[in-house]
Structure 1
Amino acid sequence: MSISRRDVLKASGLAPLLGVSVGRPNRFPPQTAPIGPSAVDVVPPAGWDYPAQVDLLPFGHGVASGDPLADRVIIWTRVSIPDDRGWEVTDPQGVTSTNVVWKVATDPDMVDVRASGAVTTDAGRDWTVKVDVDGLTPNAVYFYCFEALGYRSPVGRTRTAPGPDDDVTELHAAHVACTSWWQDHFSAYARIAERDDVDLVIHVGDHVYEFCGGHPAVRAWEDRFDIDDVDARRWSTRNEARRRYALYYQDPHLMAAHMAAPWVIAVDNHDFADLRDESLSEEERRFGGAEVFWEWSPTRPVRPDHSGTFRPSPGPFANVETPRGAEAFFTHRAMSWGRLLSLIVIDWHYSRQLETEEQAATANDGMPFGPAPAMLGPTQWRWLQDTFEAHAGATHRILLNQKNMGQLGNFNLPTALRDGARELGLTSVENAEDVVDIYPGWTSDRRQLFAFLRDRGIVDNIVLSGDSHGWWAYDLVEDSTAPDYNPVDPWAGDDAGVGLTPVGVELINGMGRPGLVDVVAETACEAGAGQGSAHSCFEAGSDPTFHAAYRAARIPAIAASLAAETAAMAANPSMRYMNWREYGHSMVHLFGDRSELELLASDKTVNTGPGETGPAGTPADTVLARYANQVGRPHLVPLSPLERTAGPAKPAVPAPATLPLRTAR
């Protein structure tokens, strides 16, 4: 009896995985037949220039997960097929679309599979796959992978949130912001990935930049230190924006952090930067960058009605829909982590842009503290009020906030630093109320928010911010220079007669984007070299002589910055820490009676992978500061920097590997 290839595949169970149709497998609904070839050539042809980890093709950007709820989590990947015609072809190797199987299991070997399904992807969504896996157990660790074109992807680790009424004893989250690929080797991501206790990775904006910024670079794609290169210049088309995400996501340290834990991302202006191609329509230019964010990030879309509620899951056999047009600008949302935490995400720029004057007038009706803050717009302000009140019973609230909220009040900035401060947007540090790009520039708005929180007794708030390209830690009060604020113990004395007490605390960090010291050194170096702009500074990125001069210029800038930081903290008692010289990530450890907050610096010029030490055996990162923050009495109390906080270990994530399906099984 002769046996056909189709019969062999059907008997082996490999047919649906290889995209070969042999009837209707149970795992596929009638409307989703398996499609695509059985395999592709994953070895790139000569001259193929696309940012991807070649050894992991066709999953050259790894896997990621995000926005976990009690019964579901988003999982993501991209199928990348090399083709000798270039990186923009819509049918690489003749493939116009392909089926992708996904699996979620309780073990890293992917044996105990608890959920699975299949979706189709193509060039219309840039070959990305984004699935909302529902029906999962609350507060559980899972592993996940994808299968397509004869290969299995790397395995990622994710988890679900506890149920809203569950008693949870702790949570451990990493906090990053302003992650510039060109100015940083992403060693801080490696530090996050090597931990086995991270429950969430929180990014508070500018997680992918639309351009290199022209600052001195530690690296460039294929060593092309050219500001006009496609992998450095501001993105102009949708495909260029997609390629920029590919550049970021192929980074091995970012990939490892993606695989280690689910992410929650707040967007800022660089993430949603518009496209510049004049041949595109106004709508395409305005919303194109935001739409690419939704294609490439494991972020859960919200309804386009200012409610902050999530769209329903499309199920196991459909990709999560990419918001298009104005709908792509809706990002504010809230999530719970049992009774321990409510996570609130706002957007600083975009919600208010979508409000008409009539909507604004209506939304302002009944505001207890006057008109809504101009920063957020009235509709989001009302949503934020309602959300804080609805989540007032949580032990902690974390507010993901793109801009510096704490007050940087009056102090004398050294002359040598003033140009650098202006470069960072602090155009009038001596008069902080004129700084309109951070909350201190909107004094009445901040007072209004803090008064609302204090009036309702909602004070256990941790604000995680970015955009300042340095380290800041604050007790959050309306006026840090007020005579009745006690920076040693603001809660001392009779509670009824106590002065100004914090409504929460704030941490701000930056990972790679140049802070004050680097901006000052860059300016001095340009002047000494006779270079007139940061443009030429980037072009000199591979010049050892230039970088030697640049590093030398940092030395006096560090001394000046230390003086400025000391003066700033003396003039602003609520500022508990300031450091505009170093870069890295924060850790936020939540417990039932307190939080413990850590500021961890890593050298952005050194490529130190997960599990590795720094140069000559030095630590891969440094504890800059640690604080305890007591529930009911928010205030940053210093802890020993010689110790570190850790949580329960999770099963290890397998090393990144793409395997042929026969080998994977």
Structure 2
Amino acid sequence: MKLATSFLSIFIFILSFSQTSFPRKSLNPLLYPFYHGVASGDPLSNSVILWTRFTDDTLSSDSVEVNWRISTDTSMINIVNSGNGYAHINSDWTFKVDASGLSPDTWYYYDFEALGYHSIRGRTKTAPLGDNDSARFAVVSCSNYEHGYFNVYRYLRNRNDFDAVLHLGDYIYEYEAGGYSAGIVDRDNEPSNEIITLEDYRVRYSHYRLDDDLRSLHQQYPFINVWDDHESANDSYVDGAQNHSPSTEGLWSDRKSNATQAYHEWLPIRSPIPGDLQIYREINYGDLMTLYMLDTRLQGRSEQRGSSSDPTRTILGQTQFSWLTNKLNTSNSRWNILGQQVMIAPLEVFGAALNDDQWDGYDYERSRLYDSIATNGIENIVVLTGDIHTSWVNDIPLSNYDASSCTGSVGVEYVVTSVTSPGLGFLGGIAGSTIEFFNPHIQYTNLSEHGYLILDVSKTKVTGNYYYVNDVDAVMTGEYFDEAYYVLDGENCAQQAAGPTLSNKTPPVFAPAQPINGTAAIDAHLTAFTVFGTYPNPFYDDVTIQVFLAENEALTFDCYDISGRLVFSREIPELTKGLNYIKLYLGPLQSGNYSLVIKGENHYSSKKLVKYR
């Protein structure tokens, strides 16, 4: 039958990187319908955020009921809390819940169920309460998908000797495919354009979270996240970003809203009320330490250009600055640890700051913070920093700083290198020895390697242990310990340790790799295709279908209007096994509601579409 819309000019763009991909060449059918795995985050002494994402390409409704439970054992017998809620299309089918009624300093296992299928089980841990001898964290930042494999995440997953992962930002990157890339064949960004719309950001998160190393790390440990700039756009601030052009990319306020909404949808973080950008918060680990997670990007930052001594310029914003100083002034914790994005210690050569995106560009506010700490006699300040893809250990100097006597410092800063992102060019090839000569407060640098920091906190000292992977261009090429630096209780300067600190705790067994219902999902989904999403929706002209094929297969795309009339049809003779992105041009269709039916040999999927004119 000749279609009524045969006059349509139809373009189909297929992106397939499955031939040599790792690990996306095969999708584990056991994960259905929770292909993005599970995650937990923001642990308190009595609660923790649990997260998952539901994917079912046969569902016709806009929501699905999700049941959750949390237990002290992997068999999910000793249930301590459970409940249900809904994953909804408006939140990109993500689901998270604040599981309460938990005991302090305790490991738990959890899972989700929908439509009779169980997710894989996750493992998480609550924060301690009251007297506490130790805490231990893996600290990471700057994970650019196109710059290599997430070997750091895999090695961390296997350590089993820390309580939580602190991610200091640049969890994703906004650039288009090839825009900021090492050119690794099977590590292309999706969507291929620079991400701007809500749907763009959602697809990019989905793309990252299908990485097996990231998914597995989330499964086994709670995360404590803050964003940096690349979760929105490079060098972002309140009113804009270096990598945002209003003339071609629209209002910055819209893009910022899109970026932050997707962030809260896809990460296991306690979310504020809709429209509230506040991400700064505190998490207590008993009376041993308080962790203050800060936002030096979107909450209050002035544009980078301008005088660093201008009292009107801010990196935190007055509201956050007041919150932080008040919290520090009233803290009863032994250690006060700040998790934030950009280097707080000065970095100068011949008296000139090298990077005004750091606190160096906001010296007036930095001095106010230093003065508040010094005037109020606040001790045991430790700052954790990411952003610059290199490793540093810094004393945080006042004007009377003296390295030889360990005086005139308000604390110690540990800067963690990147998971994959390359070293920054602003150093201009300056050697680490030259930097340390002009900056005597800098105790350690590594300007080239990728890796992570293990932060060990005890009553007597805090130690930062630096580990690096051999390579990120290939999978699992080895790792090594480099150096460790500690700061003693009551002191404010870093000293080199003789070796790495070892954990004094033994976490329980890992959460199993398979769901509790074992192989029940295999038969139905081993040879089927899976649609992860249709973006954007609503749409104007183009719709992209994110689909995974278990085998090479031909697919047919049929679009029906609300009267059931077929208005668009196209068959693609053979798509390649793996993850594919298919772009359909539906511009000539009238505005309204449609059903897109995707058919394979033994499976079909139906998706609702809404077209704007």
TMscore range, shorter length? 0.7 to 0.9
How many angstroms apart in 1 are the aligned matches of 2:493 and 2:174? Answer: 37
1:456: Cα distance to partner?
A: 1.4
Look up the equivalent residue of 2:456 and give its one-letter code: H
Contact 2:463 2:501 in 1 (8 A): no
Tell me if structure 2 keeps the 8 A contact 1:150–1:661: no
Instruction: Report the alpha carbon displacement of residue 245 of structure 1 after superposing the two structures with TM.
Output: 0.6
Residues 401, 408 of structure 2: 8 Å contact kept: yes
> Can you give the 5+ residue segments of structure 2 that lack an aligned partner in the other structure?
1-13, 19-23, 234-239, 303-308, 522-613
Which of 196, 199, 204 is the aligned partner of 1:244? 204
Partner in structure 2 of residue 404 of structure 1? 343
Partner residue in 2 for 1:175: 139
Question: Could you tell me whether the CA contact under 8 Å between 1:512 and 1:604 is conserved in 2?
Answer: no
Q: Is the Cα contact below 8 Å between 2:123 and 2:219 reproduced in 1? A: yes
Asked if the contact 1:409/1:572 (under 8 Å) is kept, the reply is yes
Percent identical among aligned pairs is 27
Q: Are 1:80 and 2:30 counterparts?
A: no
Aligned-pair distance for 1:276? 8.6
* Aligned counterparts of 1:113 and 1:634: Cα–Cα separation in 2: 45
Identify the residue that residue 573 of structure 1 maps to in structure 2: 440
Higher share of residues assigned helix? 1
Q: Provide Cα deviations, 1:198-241, integer angstroms capped at 9, x if missing partner.
A: 11110111111122572342645xx375xxx7434311322221
Structure 1 Cα separation of the partners of residues 367 and 349 of structure 2: 17
User: What is the TM-score normalised by the length of structure 2?
Assistant: 0.73
The CA deviation at 1:644 is 4.3
Spell out the pairing of 1:499-510 with structure 2 (5 A cutoff). 499-510=407-418
How far the C-alpha of 1:635 sits from its partner, in A, is 1.7
Give 1:389's match in structure 2, choosing from 329, 332, 350: 329
2:401 is equivalent to residue 485 of structure 1: yes
Question: CA 1:607 to 1:110, structure 2 compared with 1: closer, same or farther past 3 Å?
Answer: farther
Per the alignment, in what secondary structure is the counterpart of residue 586 of structure 1?
Answer: strand
Give me the CA root mean square deviation: 3.0
Matched, 1:97 2:77: no
Point out the more displaced range, 654-663 or 94-103.
654-663
SS at match of 1:259: helix
282-291 vs 587-596, which moves further:
282-291
What TM-score, normalized by structure 1, do the two folds share?
0.68
Q: How does 1:7-406 map to 2 (within 5 A)?
A: 53-55=27-29, 56-82=31-57, 92-163=58-129, 166-211=130-175, 214-217=179-182, 219=184, 223=186, 230-273=190-233, 284-302=254-272, 323-325=273-275, 327=276, 329-352=277-300, 374-391=314-331, 393-406=332-345
Q: 1:136 to 1:460 in 2, by over 3 A?
A: same
Aligned to 2:505: 648
**1:307-331 CA distance string (max 9 Å, x none):** xxxxxxxxxxxxxxxx433x1x211
Inter-partner Cα distance in structure 2 for 1:74 and 1:372:
37
1:468 maps onto 2:468 in alignment: no
Question: Which moves more between the two structures, 286-295 or 501-510?
Answer: 501-510
Structure 2 Cα separation of the partners of residues 607 and 469 of structure 1: 19
Matches of 2:115 and 2:183, distance apart in 1: 36
What is the CA deviation profile of residues 141-165 of structure 1, one whole-angstrom value per residue up to 9, with x for unaligned ones?
11111111222111111111122xx
- Find the counterpart in structure 2 of residue 657 from structure 1: 514
Q: 1:78 Cα shift?
A: 0.3
- Which stretch of structure 1 is more off in the superposition, 128-137 or 144-153? 144-153
The structure with the largest strand share of the pair is: 2
CA gap 1:622/1:595 in 2 versus in 1, 3 angstroms: same
Structure 1 distance, partners of 2:158, 2:385, is 24
User: Structure 1, residues 445-481: CA drift from partner, whole Å, max 9, x if none?
Assistant: 22221121111121211111111111111011135xx
What is the aligned partner in structure 2 of residue 9 from structure 1?
none
CA contact under 8 A between 2:393 and 2:412: conserved in structure 1?
no
Corresponding position of 1:633: 491
2:408 aligns to what SS in structure 1? Answer: coil
Distance 1:506 1:644 in 2: 16
**Alignment partners' CA distance in 2, 1:49 and 1:149:** 31
Partner of 1:511: 419
Do structure 1's residue 593 and structure 2's residue 460 form an aligned pair?
yes
1: CA distance between counterparts of 2:56 and 2:16? 11
2:194 aligned counterpart, secondary structure: coil
Identify if the C-alpha distance between structure 1 residues 439 and 276 changes in structure 2 by more than 3 Å, giving closer, same or farther.
closer
Q: Is the 8 A contact 1:586 1:599 kept in 2?
A: yes
| 8 Å Cα contact 1:172/1:647 also seen in 2 | no
Q: Which residue of 2 aligns with 1:431?
A: 352
- How many residues in Structure 1 have an aligned counterpart in Structure 2? 484
What's the CA shift string for 1:527-560, capped at 9, x where partnerless?
A: xxxxxxxxxxxxxxxxxxxxxxxxxxxxxx9xx9
Contiguous gaps of at least 5 residues in structure 1: 1-45, 83-91, 303-322, 355-368, 412-429, 491-498, 521-556, 615-619
Structure-1 separation of matches of 2:77 and 2:228? 39
CA contact (8 A) 1:505 1:634 kept: no
Is the contact between residue 628 and residue 637 of structure 1 (CA under 8 Å) also seen in structure 2?
Answer: yes
Distance change in 2, residues 1:109/1:217 (3 Å): farther
Deviation sequence 1:258-314 (CA, Å, 0-9, x none): 112111111112213499997988754330111010111101124xxxxxxxxxxxx
